[in-house]
Amino acid sequence: QRASPPTWCPRAAPLIDAALGDTVEMALNMVDNVWQVLADPIDLEFAIMNLAVNARDAMPRGGRFVIRCQNNRLVGSETLLPDGEYVLIACSDDGEGMPETVARRAFEPLFTTKLRGSGSGLGLAQVLAMCEQAGGTAKIDSVPGSGTTVRLYLPRYRDRQRALVPDAETAQQAAPASKGVVLLVEDNEDVAAGVAAVLETFGCEVRHEPTADQALDVLTGGARFELVLSDIQMPGKLNGIDLAEKVRSAWPAQKIALMTGYADELERARRLGVAILAKPFNIDELHALVACEP
């Protein structure tokens, strides 16, 4: 009988599974009595979600995404981490893989191999940053045609373990309160699934529309949202900037933000005076938009 996984696992697993879609099978393998780590659970969920979305992109015909969590004692490790006890979270896919020259750059900010218009907005640099902030690191191993494994190393946290493992009642009380509904406008279904799953970790409900034209119809029908979050490039008559201009004109109180990975679109978007997420954005930037902050 397997012990109950750390508190982030039950919450994150359904979201990760949803982001992977119907053609990718997810497996979660954990050893008994996994050590505690000192890391923000939302940041950790975001990192795993990030890896899941990238894995799905690497498996266009479907496949398997496996999360393995175990205790690990490092001595003289090639990770350059100090010797000691770490929790190892290894995320593996059996997708297309990548050559060594690409794998070496995978954690660089803004680095992507995705074609224009297909980027997820979820950068691997944020995965490494989360691990380093917790005192650990991340490593990537990939073989073209054989898949990719990303290993997250997080130091064991020994003190105040009782405070870090709340009981069910406390965990329920600490669950994020609903902050309303976000209208997500994104034509790429994989990207939409990943971003929606992250928004849900913030306590938001998400309504997804694949085009700005359809989103405008929803708004014209009287619906209002905590936030309208729209990509810029989409099929149809309107793009995201057009949508933002119409929202600003017709419903000035409606909060809207745009996301893009292309510098040539940023200047026009900035002139609107709306919030802009430059892909790949990080969790803090996205969270700030839906945190009901003044």
Question: Is residue 56 assigned to a domain?
Answer: yes
94-117 confidence digits (pLDDT tens) = 998 888 888 888 887 655 555 443
Whether 43 and 73 map to the same domain: the answer is yes
Q: What global pTM score does this model have?
A: 0.55
Question: Is residue 294 assigned to a domain?
Answer: no
> For the chain, which ranges sit under pLDDT 70?
1-11, 109-123, 159-179, 263-269, 280-282, 291-294
Q: Specify the number of domains making up the chain.
A: 2
The reported pLDDT for the residue numbered 116 is: 41
260-293 confidence digits (pLDDT tens) = 877 666 666 677 778 888 776 667 778 888 864 4
Give me the CATH number covering residue 154: 3.30.565.10
The reported pLDDT for the residue numbered 38 is: 84
Whether 115 and 238 map to the same domain: the answer is no
Question: Is residue 3 assigned to a domain?
Answer: no
The reported pLDDT for the residue numbered 11 is: 65
The reported pLDDT for the residue numbered 16 is: 85
Two structure tokens written together for 155: 């130091």
Question: Is residue 107 assigned to a domain?
Answer: yes
Question: Is residue 38 assigned to a domain?
Answer: yes
Whether 160 and 223 map to the same domain: the answer is no
Answer with the one of 133, 151, 171 that is the final residue of a domain. Answer: 171
The reported pLDDT for the residue numbered 227 is: 93
The reported pLDDT for the residue numbered 32 is: 77
Answer with the one of 117, 149, 171 that is the final residue of a domain. Answer: 171
255-267 confidence digits (pLDDT tens) = 999 988 776 666 6
Whether 152 and 268 map to the same domain: the answer is no
Give me the CATH number covering residue 268: 3.40.50.2300
Question: Is residue 1 assigned to a domain?
Answer: no
Whether 46 and 125 map to the same domain: the answer is yes
Q: Domain range spanning residue 280?
A: 181-289
